[in-house]
Amino acid sequence: MAVYFVLQIRWETEAALHHYAQGLSDLIEKHGGRFVVASKDFQLLEGTWKPGRLIVVEFPSMESFRAWYESEEYRPLRAFRLRNSDSDAVVATGL
């Protein structure tokens, strides 16, 4: 069953965003994932949510998501993201 990694993020600098993004697509694809949404162009319809960017990545299973999220390759990128942005992330099982 597919799972979705949903991230709302505000980067401190564009340089930090570019550093994080380098090689990220290849690493996600290595674990069976694919970007569904990666945008700073969206419209708020309800509430007060104000992400700088909205990211949704689909993985074929919770196992493949965990393999990516907990991988040695992603660990330093995740730490970098947490130091250089304000973000919230969830993983949700699809239908």
Q: What is the pLDDT of residue 47?
A: 93
Mean pLDDT of the chain: 95
pLDDT average, residue stretch 18-46: 95
Q: What is the pLDDT at residue 49?
A: 86
Taken in order of first residue, the domains within the chain and their CATH numbers are: 3-42+51-93 (3.30.70.100)
- The yes-or-no verdict on residue 30 having pLDDT over 90 is yes
pLDDT computed for residue 81 by the predictor: 96
Among positive and negative, which fits the CA dihedral 45, 46, 52, 54? negative
Q: Quick one: pLDDT at residue 50?
A: 83
- Dump pLDDT digits (tens) for 49-86: 888 999 999 999 999 999 999 999 999 999 999 999 99
Angle between helices 62-69 and 74-84 (to 10 degrees): 70
Asked if residue 32 has pLDDT above 90, the reply is yes
